[in-house]
């Protein structure tokens, strides 16, 4: 039942809907977000990260067997990114475009760059486009020349950026490097993934406590910053899945494995609203909730983490995954028009959204694709 429900929502509902309403009919690429009525909103900009995320979604649509043309739909975003967002080896990627597709904010942003690389990796995976390796290599060269962190470890979150420095874009850059490593086979992407994971283990995480910080000073220290006590359980879950993905099948790295387990244990112990069992937005290191909103994306990341822990440690995920899928459908996906979502619920479970952001599709597709990868776990037992 779980597999059929997930597969039907993706293939019969969400991909068809977003291939129609999510493509911009007034400009190139994809729309930024929809109104609550499910039609494209009248906005004047397009974030590069959203274009990249939608490319990923439709590359996965092609892989998952959607009857529509996932590759052709993804191509709308790929060509916009390469033709308009890429400014060359010395200027990197724009972070925002106009609705017509012209550069708007040309200051490179690590978060947007990470998602461009992630999208290009999946585009290469489904098409073999020979441009990808060169573009990704030039992008890493650009980051090394123009966005290197003062410590020599990691990167600035934005060209010219100052403290506080951020964990989050490095997480997504790690995700991109793993995909590029696996799809191109090139050592430089594997080496970069290694460096980023090391940064996570040695700087971002307090492994003993199982916590992952969000902001840092110029020495990659979390202490003394005003937001240093803010921890996001959703990012704990996201890194669990990433650290598992970083280790190739059959590979065991004790330091990576231990960090993965500690992050998972903290998030499970402290990251949920005890009344709803939904993941909250942010907690203190002692587990006290700071931001009690229950956004869609951390629920999706929790599904991925449970499946990663099953594949790595054999922890039975079936009950948690079944509950998590049911919660997504009940609290976030049971909305009109079908194929869309409620982005957030507050502490009292009231909807808290004024739009339908296209950016959330990436989290749903990736989590549901992982559930489908483990379809054998949820197959009915023979009578």
pLDDT digits (tens, 9 = 90+) for 95-135: 999 999 999 999 999 999 999 999 999 999 999 999 999 99
CATH label, 2-376, candidates 3.20.20.370, 3.50.50.60, 3.20.20.140, 1.50.10.10: 1.50.10.10
Average pLDDT of span 288-312:
98
> How high is the mean pLDDT of the chain?
97
- pLDDT tier for residue 227 given thresholds of 50, 70 and 90: low
25-61 burial, b for 16+ CB within 10 Å, e for fewer? eebbbbbbbbebeeebbeeeebbbbbbbbbbbbbbbb
Q: What is the pLDDT of residue 380?
A: 77
pTM, entire model:
0.97
* Greater model confidence, 204 or 227: 204
pLDDT of residue 223 exceeding 80: no
Average pLDDT of the residues in 240-248? 98
Structure token digits, residue 104? 């708007």
Parse the chain into domains and list their residue ranges. Answer: 2-376
Q: Average pLDDT in the 24-46 region?
A: 97
Peptide bond between residue 220 and the one before it cis (omega within 30 degrees of 0):
no
In the predicted model, is pLDDT for residue 229 greater than 90? no
Is residue 201's pLDDT more than 70? yes
Average pLDDT over residues 80-93: 98
Supply the pLDDT for residue 228.
Answer: 64
CA dihedral 221, 227, 228, 231 (to 10 degrees): -130
Question: What is the rounded average pLDDT of the residues 184-204?
Answer: 98
Alpha carbon distance 285, 269 (integer Å): 11
The pLDDT, as a whole number, for residue 383 is 62
| 152 Cβ neighbours under 8 A, 6+ residues apart | none
Provide the pLDDT confidence category of residue 226 given band limits of 50, 70 and 90. low
Mean pLDDT across the stretch 248-256? Answer: 93
């Amino acid at each position: 039942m779980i597999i059929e429900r997930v597969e039907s929502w993706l293939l019969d509902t969400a991909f068809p809907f977003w291939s129609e309403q999510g493509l911009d009919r007034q400009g190139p690429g994809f729309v930024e977000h929809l109104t609550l009525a499910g039609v494209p909103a009248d906005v004047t900009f397009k974030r590069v990260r959203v274009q990249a995320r939608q490319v990923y979604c439709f590359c996965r649509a092609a892989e998952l067997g959607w009857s529509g043309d996932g590759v052709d739909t993804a191509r709308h975003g790929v060509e916009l990114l390469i033709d308009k967002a890429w400014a060359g080896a010395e200027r990197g990627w724009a972070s925002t475009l106009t609705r017509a597709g012209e550069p708007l904010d040309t200051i490179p942003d690590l978060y947007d760059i990470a998602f461009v690389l992630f999208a290009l990796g999946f585009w290469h995976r489904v098409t073999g486009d020979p441009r990808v390796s060169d573009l990704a290599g030039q992008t890493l060269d650009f980051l090394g020349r123009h966005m290197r962190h003062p410590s020599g470890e990691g990167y600035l979150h934005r060209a010219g950026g100052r403290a506080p420095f951020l964990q989050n874009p490095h997480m997504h850059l790690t995700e991109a490097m793993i995909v590029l490593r696996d799809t191109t086979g090139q050592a430089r992407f594997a080496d970069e993934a290694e460096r980023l994971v090391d940064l996570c283990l040695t700087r971002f995480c307090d492994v003993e406590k199982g916590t992952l910080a969000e902001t840092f000073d110029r020495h990659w220290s979390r202490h003394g910053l005003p937001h240093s006590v803010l921890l996001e359980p959703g990012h704990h879950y996201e890194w669990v899945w990433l650290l598992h993905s970083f280790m190739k099948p059959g590979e065991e790295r004790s330091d990576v494995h231990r960090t993965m387990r500690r992050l998972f244990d903290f998030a499970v112990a402290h990251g949920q609203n005890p009344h709803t069992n939904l993941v909250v937005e942010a907690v203190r290191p002692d587990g006290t909730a700071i931001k009690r909103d229950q956004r869609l994306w951390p629920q999706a990341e929790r599904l991925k983490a449970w499946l990663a822990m099953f594949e790595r440690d054999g922890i039975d995920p079936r009950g948690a995954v079944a509950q998590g899928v049911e919660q997504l459908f009940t609290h976030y996906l049971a909305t009109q028009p079908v194929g869309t979502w409620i982005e957030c619920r507050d502490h009292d479970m009231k909807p808290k959204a004024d739009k339908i952001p296209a950016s959330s599709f990436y989290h749903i597709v990736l989590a549901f694709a992982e559930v489908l990868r483990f379809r054998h776990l949820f197959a009915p037992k023979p009578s």
